């Protein structure tokens, strides 16, 4: 009787160990899947509703809020996010001032030339009728189009170099053991950000000198046609008045982070631009659709594997197959 009880106890212990081992493997697979999705800036995490996905997308990918509010499994930590934020601010500052210097140094270009005008309100009740309108100049249009596109491309590039999702489990290079590649990507990002900060500093001083030059030319009543060579001295650039344009950039940066980013991010997240199916523009609906299609494919494949197995191995293979099948199922992650 004691031997039989010992056998039952041993069998129960082995079953418990197997169960815990299976649960640990499934939990590890789930965390790898989430980590890979976070690194790829995924719109959807398994088991998340629309609202939860929107919150996690903003909290994980926002340049400023993501520093403190990112997911605990996110491959980008605090230090990497700070470096990306500094690089983004420096690149935006450099791009903004490069556009200004282009129009300032190019005699044929007029930054104040109006491309189109938007009439907002007409007031004819007062004794002096006036028309309120919003003019879009060449300078503004260049900043919003060329500057915005290049800035976004820079942000995404340093993001993917830092996260290096292709080297995470499930990525293209995961099977090659590319841990060193991830470290190399971080070093590349640090180097790029250092160079970007140096260029931004140079361009800021250049613009301050250019503004001082134009101010002195105006005070002296000399225009550019007279071709007078005049250089501002460094001691004339230590006044904050020469760097007043930085206040405007701080306002632009605040608008970009807290107005434009949430609005544009929500549009991309919703998938409206891609009708929920097109790559890059499909947003969350496309990712949900792909996930469900993959789950149906795995269930179909798993049921066929179980059906063709022998009776003795059916239980074991069924357990393993279901474990591989549903490791990213939405039901496993809660509501």
pLDDT band at 21; cut points 50, 70, 90: confident
As a whole number of angstroms, the distance between CA 270 and CA 49 comes to: 13
As a whole number of angstroms, the distance between CA 140 and CA 322 comes to: 57
Q: Would you say residue 333 has pLDDT above 50?
A: no
pLDDT tens digits, 272-326: 988 888 888 899 999 999 989 988 998 888 776 555 554 444 444 444 433 443 4
Regarding predicted confidence, which is higher, 4 or 68? Answer: 68
Q: Would you say residue 235 has pLDDT above 70?
A: no
- What's the pTM value of the predicted model, to 2 decimals? 0.74
**Which single residue is written with the structure tokens 């990507």?**
185
pLDDT tens digits, 192-205: 999 999 999 999 98
What average pLDDT does the chain have?
Answer: 76
């Amino acid at each position: 009787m004691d031997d039989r009880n010992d056998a039952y106890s041993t069998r129960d212990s082995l079953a418990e160990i197997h169960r815990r081992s299976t649960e640990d493997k499934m939990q590890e697979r789930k965390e790898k899947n989430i980590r890979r999705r976070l690194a790829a800036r995924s719109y959807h995490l398994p088991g998340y509703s629309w609202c939860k996905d929107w919150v996690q997308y903003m909290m994980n990918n926002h340049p400023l809020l993501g520093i403190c509010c990112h997911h605990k499994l996110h491959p980008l930590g605090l230090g990497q996010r700070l470096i990306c934020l500094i690089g983004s601010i420096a690149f935006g500052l450099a791009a903004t001032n490069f556009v200004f210097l282009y129009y300032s140094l190019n005699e044929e270009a007029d930054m104040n030339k109006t491309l189109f005008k938007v009439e907002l309100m007409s007031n004819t009740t007062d004794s002096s009728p006036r028309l309120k309108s919003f003019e879009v100049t060449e300078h503004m249009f260049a900043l919003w189009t060329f500057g915005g596109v290049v800035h976004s491309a820079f942000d995404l590039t340093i993001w993917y170099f830092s996260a290096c999702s292709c080297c995470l489990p499930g990525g293209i290079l995961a099977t090659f053991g590319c841990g060193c590649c991830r470290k190399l990507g971080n070093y590349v990002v640090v180097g790029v950000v250092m160079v970007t900060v140096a260029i931004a500093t140079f361009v800021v001083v250049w613009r301050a000198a250019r503004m001082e030059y134009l101010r002195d030319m105006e005070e002296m009543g000399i225009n550019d046609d007279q071709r007078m060579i005049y250089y501002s001295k460094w001691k004339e650039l230590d006044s904050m008045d020469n760097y007043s344009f930085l206040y405007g950039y701080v306002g632009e940066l605040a608008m970009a982070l807290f107005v434009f980013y949430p609005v544009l991010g929500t549009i991309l997240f919703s998938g409206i631009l891609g009708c929920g199916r097109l790559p890059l523009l499909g947003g969350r609906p496309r990712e949900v659709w792909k996930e469900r299609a993959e789950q149906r494919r795995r269930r179909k494949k798993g049921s066929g594997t179980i059906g063709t197995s022998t009776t003795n191995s059916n239980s074991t293979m069924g357990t393993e197959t279901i474990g591989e099948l549903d490791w990213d199922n939405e039901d496993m992650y809660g509501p």
